């Protein structure tokens, strides 16, 4: 992902030139290498380089305009986001399995207690799974909204199943229209509309002309 100059200067995308300049001066004083201890000079030099780079772009109206355009055109694939969420989900699943196994081992000394605790574990697992799904959805929605707020456009890709559903719906629509066309009343209605309405005739002739 490319550098976000607004985040580097800690300002909003719609910040005025005065705010941008003030933020730059504040950060320059905070991270200037000459004001840091020896252990932090290297990090502060890298930070100041980013701050100067960001300010050089955002303080110039033309450079800022071009940067805003390039930033708005940056897209992040929904597949990449889904992959991150899937890894997070798998990690939580392993943790839950480990916790459940530990509970089963601790309760294995007494059959009656084991039976009780197993049912408790099932209820607990269901609850934890529902809670985890809710957390993942909230994390996903918040992450998507944060990306949109920062100027990114999310590119959603349709799955093969969605393409098949759309294709199937189109076939059903064509079939229904074909069956309706076999009814004489329907045919006469559309023929009269075609010959009596000049606008409809022009539209139909134009569309048919595209397929010739």
Q: Could you say which of 24, 53, 73 is where a domain stops?
A: 73
32 and 45 housed in the same domain: yes
By CB neighbour count within 10 A (0-12 exposed, 13-18 middle, 19+ buried), where does 50 fall? middle
Mean pLDDT is lowest, of 11-25, 81-95, 106-120, 147-161, for 106-120
Give the integer Cα–Cα distance in Å for 199 and 176. Answer: 25
131 and 101 housed in the same domain: yes
83 and 139 housed in the same domain: yes
What is the pLDDT of the chain when averaged over all its residues?
77
Given a cut of 50, whether residue 116 has pLDDT beyond it is no
165 and 206 housed in the same domain: yes
Owning domain of residue 148: 76-155
Given a cut of 80, whether residue 146 has pLDDT beyond it is no
The stretches of 16-110 forming alpha helices (DSSP H) are 17-31, 41-58, 61-72, 78-106
pTM exceeds 0.75, yes or no: no
**Beta carbons of 57 and 64 less than 8 angstroms apart:** yes
Task: Check residue 162 and give its pLDDT.
Answer: 79
144 and 192 housed in the same domain: no
Q: Could you say which of 21, 44, 73 is where a domain stops?
A: 73
* Structural domain count, the chain: 3
Positive or negative, the Cα torsion across 131, 133, 136, 141? negative
43 and 114 housed in the same domain: no
44 and 80 housed in the same domain: no
148 and 175 housed in the same domain: no
> For the segment 18-41, what is each residue's pLDDT rounded down to a tens digit?
999 999 999 998 998 888 888 888
> For the segment 152-178, what is each residue's pLDDT rounded down to a tens digit?
666 656 677 777 888 888 889 888 878
What stretch of H or E contains 155? Answer: strand 153-155
Given a cut of 90, whether residue 136 has pLDDT beyond it is no
149 and 178 housed in the same domain: no
Residue 145: pLDDT band with limits 50, 70, 90 = confident
CATH of residue 52's domain is 1.10.287.110
21 and 39 housed in the same domain: yes
178 and 131 housed in the same domain: no
Q: Which residue has the tokens 């197993």?
A: 118
177 and 107 housed in the same domain: no
Residue 75: pLDDT band with limits 50, 70, 90 = very low
Q: Could you say which of 73, 93, 118 is where a domain stops?
A: 73
């Amino acid at each position: 992902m490319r550098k976000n100059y607004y985040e580097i200067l800690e300002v909003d995308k719609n910040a005025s030139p005065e705010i941008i300049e003030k933020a730059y001066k504040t950060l320059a004083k905070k991270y200037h290498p000459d004001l840091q201890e020896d252990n932090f000079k290297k990090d502060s030099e890298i930070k100041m380089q980013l701050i100067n780079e960001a300010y050089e772009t955002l303080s110039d109206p033309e450079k800022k305009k071009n940067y805003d355009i390039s930033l708005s055109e940056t897209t992040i694939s929904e597949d990449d986001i889904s992959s991150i969420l899937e890894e997070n989900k798998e990690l939580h699943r392993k943790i839950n399995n480990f916790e459940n196994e530990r509970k089963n081992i601790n309760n294995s000394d007494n059959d009656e207690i084991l039976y009780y605790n197993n049912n408790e574990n099932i209820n607990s697992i269901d609850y934890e799974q529902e809670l985890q799904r809710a957390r993942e959805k909230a994390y996903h929605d918040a992450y998507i909204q944060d990306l949109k707020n920062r100027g990114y456009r999310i590119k959603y890709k349709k799955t093969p199943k969605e393409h098949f559903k759309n294709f199937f719906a189109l076939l059903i629509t064509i079939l229904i229209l074909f069956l309706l066309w076999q009814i004489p009343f329907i045919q006469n209605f559309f023929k009269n509309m075609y010959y009596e309405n000049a606008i409809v005739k022009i539209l139909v002739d134009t569309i048919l002309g595209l397929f010739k």
